[in-house]
Amino acid sequence: MPTNIPYANTDSILESLVLHTLPDFGEHGDGIINYNFLLSALREKKRFREVEGGLEFWKGVIKQESSNFKWQAHTDTMNANLQDPVERLRFAIKTFTGSVVINKLHEAQNKGRAMMKNFAQTLRDQAESTIPNAFNSAFWNTTPGANEPESIPTLISSTPTVGTIGGLGRAGRLELQNGAYTTAVASIGSQAGVAAMKQRQINQAVTSNDMVDIVIMPDVHYGSLVGYLSTLNRYRPDERLAKLDFDTINIGNTVISFENTNVKGGANTIAYNSTTTVGSIYGLNSKHFLFECLKDGNFIWNPEGFERVPLTLNKALYFWVFCNLTTNLPRAHFVMTNVQP
């Protein structure tokens, strides 16, 4: 937590003030999560996992039932056969870094108490907006680069029978094929639209109480759905996420929210065509969708503080995260690709 520190005239005081006022991401990166709907929803569902170590994140996918279980007469011999129940999805650990830099000139210019506080606050505000936006953009990248994490479109594919996931080919493996509904939906803000979305949840259900519980759609579609449900007096937010100021709809056990399609700076966002108003709706089963971090790279500001950048007047405070989005059952999720608001 931020703490009060004394003011002084030494050069190190600005560094100390910045250290105490920067976003306190803390364990599990709360400072980032609280600004990002996907991570907030996964945290509320307890699907944010810290891993002690390892060369990669790997998940076992149950591809068949055990042959050892059966109904039998009480005198029959029980089955006790060795089983190979899983395929292993492997996800590389991706690195996100950044830094906050103070120049000696800036340090000299911001010696006064008021100026020092303003300068530190500016650095905080910049970090507080840049880092969550970078994560959010990565989560909606349709074609991540080699150094970028998995995204929702790569884990929940619109062409689920082609390509690979976690190093395994999707073709011929039903357990690796998420649901993809390409039939046109005239309006999500209608009885038929809600019914179509609910049917997709049921189709992808693993068991009757294990189905998609997070739905994300374009903001235009979300507005249409809010209008429809408000007219029926059926608009109820998710109380836990409402405390973090996220606008959500709660239908049964499903939390519905949106991605803003009007973004600045070239950030990635959910698939939406502003000309045809066709958008994609993604359904995530949080029991089979995780955000994972290495323990020693879990949203860390350099514990050694600011370091001198060689041959410059700069000192830098470095930041890093070792993480990725993962799933242990791709078929538990769905995407609808042809939905009107």
User: Is 210's pLDDT higher than 80?
Assistant: yes
| Same-domain status, 232 and 265 | yes
- Phi–psi pair at 174, nearest 5 degrees: -60, -35
Task: Write the DSSP string, 140-190.
Answer: T-SS--TTSPP-HHHHS-SSTTSSEETTEE-TT-GGG--EEE-S-BS-SSS
Residue 269 CB neighbour total at 10 angstroms: 17
- Side-chain-facing half-sphere of 215: CA atoms under 13 Å: 29
Number of helices and strands in the chain (H, E)? 9, 17
Helix, strand or coil, per DSSP, at residue 333: coil
Does 150 map to a domain? no
* CA–CA dist 248, 258 (Å, integer): 8
DSSP symbol at 327: E
| Same-domain status, 229 and 114 | no
Task: Work out the end-to-end distance of the chain between its first and last CA atoms, rounded to an integer number of angstroms.
Answer: 43
Q: What is the mean pLDDT of residues 151-163?
A: 97
- Phi–psi pair at 103, nearest 5 degrees: -95, 150
| Same-domain status, 323 and 335 | no
| Same-domain status, 107 and 174 | no
Which class for 303: exposed (0-12), middle (13-18), buried (19 or more C-beta within 10 A)?
A: exposed
Considering only CA atoms, which of 204, 7, 23, 255 is closest in space to residue 128?
23
Instruction: Classify strands 314-327 and 289-294 as parallel, antiparallel or unpaired.
Output: antiparallel
| Same-domain status, 213 and 334 | yes
* pLDDT for res 28: 40
| Same-domain status, 212 and 133 | no
Q: What average pLDDT does the chain have?
A: 87
* CA–CA dist 152, 281 (Å, integer): 11
Chain centre to alpha carbon of residue 285: 13
| Same-domain status, 92 and 219 | no
Q: What is the mean pLDDT of residues 15-37?
A: 61
For the ranges 66-80, 91-105, 123-137, 153-167, the maximum mean pLDDT occurs at 153-167
Gyration radius of the chain over CA positions = 24
| Same-domain status, 122 and 41 | yes
Q: Quote the domain boundaries for residue 245.
A: 167-290+330-339
219-275 pLDDT, tens per residue?
A: 999 999 999 999 998 888 888 888 878 899 999 889 999 999 988 788 999 999 999
Does 100 map to a domain? yes
| Same-domain status, 111 and 193 | no
| Same-domain status, 316 and 211 | no
213-234 pLDDT, tens per residue?
A: 999 999 999 999 999 999 998 8
Query: Where residue 195 sits, what CATH number does that domain have?
Result: 3.30.1930
* pLDDT for res 114: 63
* pLDDT for res 215: 98
Contacts of residue 107, defined as CB under 8 A and 6 or more positions apart, other chains included, come to: 11, 14
Tokens coding 165: 């996931």
